[in-house]
Amino acid sequence: MTSGYSMHNILFNNGLLNNTMTLKPYHQLDCPDDLQKTISEKAIDFLKTKYDILNLTKPSLWNKLNTAEFIRAVPELLQYFNSLNLKLREVAFTICVSNENAGLHIDELPVTAKINFPILNTQDSLNLWYDVPKELMSQVNPIVNKFGAAFYNLGEVDLSQCQQIASVEVLKPVVFNSQLPHMIDMSRCKSFPRIVLTCMFFNEPVDFLKE
């Protein structure tokens, strides 16, 4: 598995993406096993009570949380980020309940560096990043949401024409470059739901993504 890629692979013709060109797809962080276990267990308890996560059959992939409420339930997550000098702004969770992949996309701007924290059943699923050739990228229009933020749904792009540039099984927290095209490969996942916390910060951890 590699997180490296070369500049010539990143040939988007869209100026919005210029500032991400020198950043790696991901960086795996250290987190003591006992702390990670505590955070996961408390997060699962919260999500079970609040969202009935074990019984959802057709959930949205991406679900915003009330961050203050979540942090009251899982204060250890804030302590962990404080130890990295990161100021937490918002927490969401992604949930996958079957072997159906989450399709290729680029997240909404302006956030580039998020931290994905594994909560449940992340083994055997992969986050994959792809280099999409510029001629394919130019055929896709950004979707602008009601807040004016643009994102790219690349689910129709032919992956056989794209080069995979990185792959990671999220077993430890991972700083995640969300402005490079990425997807979740669920094909080998055996246990569901797969749940990951996605954390965003006032001071984005982009330095971890520099070579």
Positions that interact with Fe ion (CB under 5 A):
107
Closest residue to Fe ion using C-beta atoms: 107
Q: Which two tokens stand for residue 186?
A: 């669920």
Q: Which two tokens stand for residue 10?
A: 């990143």
Q: Find, among 134, 177, 173, 182, the residue nearest to 155 by Cα.
A: 182
Half-sphere exposure of 30 (CA within 13 A, CB side): 3
Whole-angstrom CA distances from 140 to 15, 75, 183, 190 are 14, 41, 16, 33
Beta carbon of residue 105, minimum distance to Fe ion (angstroms, whole number): 6
Closer to Fe ion by Cβ: residue 76 or 195: 195
Beta carbon of residue 101, minimum distance to Fe ion (angstroms, whole number): 12
Beta carbon of residue 178, minimum distance to Fe ion (angstroms, whole number): 5
Closer to Fe ion by Cβ: residue 76 or 107: 107
Q: Are 40 and 123 in contact (CB under 8 A)?
A: no
Beta carbon of residue 151, minimum distance to Fe ion (angstroms, whole number): 8
Closer to Fe ion by Cβ: residue 76 or 183: 183
Closer to Fe ion by Cβ: residue 107 or 204: 107
